[in-house]
Amino acid sequence: MTSFEFALLPLLYLLLILKNPPTSAQMMSSLVKPGIFRHLMCRNNMYPRSSVLRYPVSDEQVFWSEPFPDYCPPAYTAPHIGGQVWADPPLPSDTFRPQWNQLDGQVNRESFHGAYNVQNGLPLNPIGRTGLTGRGSLGRWGPNHAADPIVTRWKRDGQGAILANLTTGKNIIQMVAIQRSDNKLWAIPGGMVDPGENVSVTLKREFTEEALNFTDKANMVERFFQAGGVQVYQGYVDDFRNTDNAWMETTALNFHDEDGSQVGQLELMAGDDATNVRWTDVDSNLKLHANHADIVREVVIRRNAHW
């Protein structure tokens, strides 16, 4: 190949991408992929709400495939989860025998990323090391399933006209974001899926509890969620609570109020474990809890909104 032809390679690659844009499934699976994604948030130095220090793990040492003979993470399970109905009993145990990688009674122990390994009786984080064993403050060993409703509307001026960004010319989308009380970060108002619960129920419940905190428009909210959302992500969440043996996974759906006449008009009110709630402009400066900004980006792509 001549140096001229070599120089043309990036251009050819770009043309190929433009001709065959990635499908939404490909985009979703590239968000957090075992073997590629390196933990960012859940290698935080001090485990949240504790004085336990995680064992330092460098970018290269995240993957289980990378030998790390000195790896000696502390074990920590928060005392307050003991005996809670939403939490598993401790392990090892003579009586508690979880059925890994399957539906275990009502508890879903399957990962969206395929079968995870079990080592010395404990499930292994499918992404890699976090510097901590045990469950931390998560209730379940293995995957802890959540649901995240991304409720959006177009940003409008006082006359109701949709506002576009002057540089990109694309319409500006807004989302309902809550400020979490545990780490003070802004986030999608998601929550845990109860055992046996349908994700659609979790999505509506969490949104109502965290972002509305009142029920006078309950019928309209019910209809809005019933109309159905668009699934934009299903998989691992880079949550600051994850450990080597317990981690968050989510199903995220976008519920869009196209003409702003439904949920887009409601007065928001923070409730449950949210300290604040607001309609937030979505763009590339968005900083959210865990990898929520990456998940929201999937909505932006689908709606062809400004980023």
Q: Which parts of this chain interact with ligand RP5 (CB under 6 A)?
A: 146, 148, 187-188, 190-192, 237, 239, 248, 250, 290
Contacts of 163 (CB under 8 A, 6+ apart): 154, 155, 156, 157, 171, 172
Cite the beta strand spans of 190-305 per DSSP E: 191-192, 230-237, 246-257, 274-281
What is the smallest separation between the CB atom of 191 and ligand RP5, expressed in angstroms?
4
Q: Which helix (H) or strand (E) holds 154?
A: strand 142-154
Reading phi first (left if > 0) and then psi (alpha if -120 to 50, else beta), residue 65 is in alpha
Nearer to ligand RP5, 221 or 274 (CB): 274
Residue with the shortest CB distance to ligand RP5: 190
Nearer to ligand RP5, 187 or 232 (CB): 187
Q: Which value, in Å, is the radius of gyration of the alpha carbons in the chain?
A: 21
Nearer to ligand RP5, 193 or 263 (CB): 193
What is the smallest separation between the CB atom of 137 and ligand RP5, expressed in angstroms?
9
Distance between CA atoms of residues 282 and 297, nearest Å: 8
User: Per the structure block, which two tokens stand in for 294?
Assistant: 């990456």
Backbone angles phi, psi at 153, to 5 degrees: -150, 165
What is the smallest separation between the CB atom of 291 and ligand RP5, expressed in angstroms?
8
Nearer to ligand RP5, 61 or 245 (CB): 245
What is the smallest separation between the CB atom of 298 and ligand RP5, expressed in angstroms?
13
What is the smallest separation between the CB atom of 251 and ligand RP5, expressed in angstroms?
9
Nearer to ligand RP5, 135 or 155 (CB): 135
User: Per the structure block, which two tokens stand in for 266?
Assistant: 């409601």
